[in-house]
Amino acid sequence: MEHVTIKDAERMTSPNPFALVATRKEDGTANVMALSWWTYVSNSPATVAICTSDRGLTGSLIKKNGEFTLSMPDESIKEAAFLCGTRSGRDCDKAAEFGIELEDGETVGAPHVRMSALVLECRLVNAVAVGDHTMYIAEVTSVLADASRRPVFAAEGYKRLTAVDI
Ligand SMILES: Cc1cc2nc3c(=O)[nH]c(=O)nc-3n(C[C@H](O)[C@H](O)[C@H](O)COP(=O)(O)O)c2cc1C
């Protein structure tokens, strides 16, 4: 075996999970961010953790509102979903610019992405600073699924999104 970087490791473990994190901005519009670093951390109560860079807008909105949604987008919107990882919501309304349709949440004020295979509505429980990211631990307050849609995963590290046949 040989030593490689943590970035090499992340590429080697791909396809990695992928979700769009949606939060509400102060003006009432939504912000949508591309995210691979999420995982289930408890079944009872149902709990997930997500890690976001402290440079982005999403983390500050989660801290302020205490809630967000995770949408696993369908492959039909994979290009638009990827674009949500290339721009910050500080400068633009990504959902409007990239044509991502949103729907109101059931149990949280944050919306979710309509063209999704799965949606998790999440309420913040704890935030843990970890290096250049913060890990947000959140209870899942609602789980919605559409079995007719195929979720995408991040391939070649985080270079592109693709549905995966197992
Ligand atoms: C496939 C993909 C996966 C990503 N995963 C993460 C992630 O897990 N955590 C993170 O902080 N940024 C991740 N990013 C980068 C953010 O989506 C990007 O910095 C975004 O502009 C932040 O948006 P915001 O400022 O509106 O929150 C990812 C980008 C892509 C393309």
Output the six-digit token pair for 137. Answer: 């631990």
Whether ligand 1 lies within 6 angstroms of the CB of 80 is answered as: no
CATH number of 6-156: 2.30.110.10
**Residue 34 has which token pair?**
């591309």
Q: How far is the CA of 16 from the centre of ligand 1 (A)?
A: 13
Q: What is the pLDDT along the chain (166 residues), one digit of tens a residue?
A: 999 999 999 999 999 999 999 999 999 999 999 999 999 999 999 999 999 999 999 999 999 999 999 999 999 999 999 999 999 999 899 999 999 999 999 999 999 999 999 999 999 999 999 999 999 999 999 999 999 999 999 999 999 999 998 8
pLDDT at position 114, please?
Answer: 98
User: What stretch of H or E contains 37?
Assistant: none
Q: Is 33 in the pocket of ligand 1 (CB under 6 A)?
A: yes
Whether ligand 1 lies within 6 angstroms of the CB of 47 is answered as no
**C-alpha distances in angstroms, 160 versus 2, 13, 62, 101, 112?**
27, 14, 26, 21, 22
Measured in angstroms, how far is the CA atom of residue 85 from the centroid of ligand 1? 4
CA atoms of 90 and 136, how far apart (whole Å) = 20
Q: Is the CB of 111 under 6 A from ligand 1?
A: no
Are residues 33 and 56 in contact, defined by beta-carbon separation less than 8 angstroms? yes
Does the Cβ of 135 fall within 6 Å of ligand 1? no
Beta strand ranges found along the chain (DSSP E): 19-24, 30-35, 38-43, 46-53, 67-73, 102-103, 112-113, 116-130, 133-145, 153-155, 160-162
d(CA 52, CA 59): 6
Question: What pLDDT does 166 receive?
Answer: 80
